[in-house]
Amino acid sequence: MEETRKVLYSAVQPTNSLTIGNYIGAIGNWVRQQTKYDCFYAIADMHAITVRQTPAELRQKTRELLALYIACGVDPEACVLYLQSSVPAHAELAWVLNTFTYVGEMERMTQFKDKSQRHAENINMGLLDYPVLMAADILLYQADVVPVGADQKQHLEITRDIAERFNNIYSPTFKVPEPLFTEVGAKIYDLQDPAKKMSKSAENPNGSVFMTDDGDAVMKKFKRAVTDSDGEVRYDEEKKPGVSNLLTIYSAFSGVTVDEAVKSFEGRGYADLKEATGEAVREKLVPIQEEQRRLLADKGYLDGVFRNGAERAARTANKTLEKVYRKVGFYKV
Ligand code: TYM
C-alpha cells in the first residue's frame, strides 16, 4: 500500500511584482517540496483586497502569478494549484474561526500594525482579519507544513493557536501545522537598506529585485547594492548585513552553500561578489520570464489549470468545512 504523504500548503498574494525574496523564501522552496508532500499552492486574491486594488490589474496579476508558479517549476499535475476566491470554503471557515479569535490578538499582529501605518486611510476589517483568513486557508487542507518566509512566522503561530483552541473546545478537528523555513534566505533584505525586508511594495525600487526585471536591471541593482567599508567578503549578519544578504542571494541562486560562497570569494572584492550575484540571479530569471510569457499567451491552458485546481481544492476543503459545521452545531437536513 502506498504510504500517505504529508500535506503542504502555501500561498502568495497577486499584488505588485514578486521579488526574488518571494522566490527564495517561498516559491523556490515549493518546487523542492513538491515531490515529498501532497501540495496545495494558492493565489491569495482574497488577502490581496485587504489593500485597495484596481480590478483589471488584480485579474491580470492573478494570471501572471499562476504563469509564474508554473514557470518556476511548480507542476500543476503534481500539485493542486488554485485561486483562493474560487473555493468558497475559505470565506466560510474564516467566519467560524473569527468566533475563536480575539480582537486583541489581531491588533497585536506586527503586519497589521505595519500595514495600518502604510494604509492609514483604509484600516478595514479585512486587514485586521487577514491572519484568520490565512488560518482558514491552512486548516481547511489539514496541512502538516507551511513553507513561508520569516515574516509569516507570527501568522503561523496564531494559526496554531486557533487550531488548538478549536480542537480543545470540541474534539481534534484540525491538524496543527508547522512552519517550514528555507535553510538560507527565509528573510531577504532590501539591497539599498539591508535593515529592511526586501518587499514588493518598497519605496525605493532599486532595493528590490523583481521577478520581472530584465537582465540589465538585475545587474544594475546588484552593482548599486549597499555594502560596507571593511572590504572583506565574510558572512556576519550583524556587522555586515549588506554583504551577508548578497552571499545569501548568491547561495540561493547558484546552489552552493554560504560557506562555499565565502571561500570562493576569498581575496576578492565586493565588486566581484555583486557581479557574480547579479549573474546568478539573471541566469535563473531570464528563462523563467520566457516561460512565463509563453504560458501567458495560452489563456485556455491557464484557465484549465484554475478550473481543475478549484475542483480538486474544493473536494478537500469541503470535507473539513462539513466537519466544522457539524461540530459547532449547524443544523443540516
Ligand atoms: P506575500 O505575498 O506577502 O508573500 C509571499 C511569500 O513570500 C515570503 N517573503 C519573503 N521571504 C524571504 N524574504 C523576503 N524578503 C520575503 N518577502 C516575502 C513570505 O513570507 C511569503 O511566504 N500572507 C501570505 C500569503 C498567504 C499564505 C496563506 C501563506 C495567504 N494565505 C496560507 C501561507 C499559507 C503572504 O504574506 O504573502
Nearest-CA residue for atom 18 of ligand 1: 22
| All cell numbers assigned to 221 | 541593482
The structure's pTM equals: 0.95
Q: How far is the CA of 149 from the centre of ligand 1 (A)?
A: 6
Is it the case that residue 77 has pLDDT exceeding 70?
yes
Residues 6+ apart with CB under 8 A from 166: 97, 100, 173, 174, 324
User: Which atom in ligand 1 lies closest to the alpha carbon of residue 150?
Assistant: 20
Q: Look at ligand 1, atom 9, and give the residue with the nearest C-alpha.
A: 22
Does position 3 have pLDDT exceeding 80, yes or no? no
Mean pLDDT score, 277-306: 98
Per-residue b or e along 181-193, where b marks 16 or more CB atoms closer than 10 Å to that residue's CB: bbebbbbbbbbbb
Active site residue 115: yes
With vertex at residue 285, the alpha carbon angle to CA 282 and CA 290, rounded to the nearest 5 degrees, is 125
Ligand 1 atom 31, closest CA: 134
If you ran DSSP here, which 8-state letter would residue 190 be given? P
pLDDT mean over 158-175: 98
Q: Residue 329 C-alpha to ligand 1 middle, in angstroms?
A: 34
What cell does 318 get?
A: 469541503
- Number of H helices and E strands in the chain, helices first, is 14, 5
Candidate of 7, 9, 10, 12 to mutate for ligand 1, largest count of ligand atoms within 8 Å of Cβ: 12
Predicted confidence at residue 183, as pLDDT, reads: 80
How many angstroms separate the first and last alpha carbons of the chain? 37
Supply the pLDDT for residue 203.
84
The confidence score (pLDDT) of residue 2 equals 57
Task: For residue 127, name the pLDDT band (cuts at 50, 70, 90).
Answer: very high
pLDDT at 158 over 90: yes
- What pLDDT sits at residue 16? 87
Q: Is 181 a residue whose pLDDT tops 70?
A: yes
Check if the beta carbon of residue 82 is closer than 8 Å to that of residue 302: no
Q: Which of 247, 260, 248, 265 is CA-nearest to residue 184?
A: 248
Mean pLDDT of 196-206: 91
pLDDT value of position 265 = 95
**What's the mean pLDDT when you consider all of the chain?**
96
Q: What pLDDT does residue 4 have?
A: 87
| Single-letter code of the amino acid located at 304 | G
Q: Which of 197, 240, 274, 284 is catalytic?
A: 197
DSSP structure class, residue 147 = E
* Nearest protein Cα to ligand 1, atom 27: 11
Q: Does residue 200 carry a catalytic annotation?
A: yes
* Mean pLDDT, residues 223-249: 96
DSSP state of 19: B
Mean pLDDT across 291-298? 98
Helix (H) or strand (E) holding 50: none
Q: pLDDT category, 1, cuts 50, 70, 90?
A: low
Catalytic-residue membership of 299: no
Best residue among 13, 19, 20, 22 to mutate for probing ligand 1's pocket (most ligand atoms within 8 Å of CB) is: 22
**11-22 per-position pLDDT tens digit:** 999 998 899 999
The string of pLDDT tens digits covering residues 82-105 is 999 999 999 999 999 999 999 999
Assigned C-alpha cell, 15: 499584488
Which residues sit opposite 256 in a β-bridge?
Answer: none
Name the closest-CA residue to atom 4, ligand 1: 12
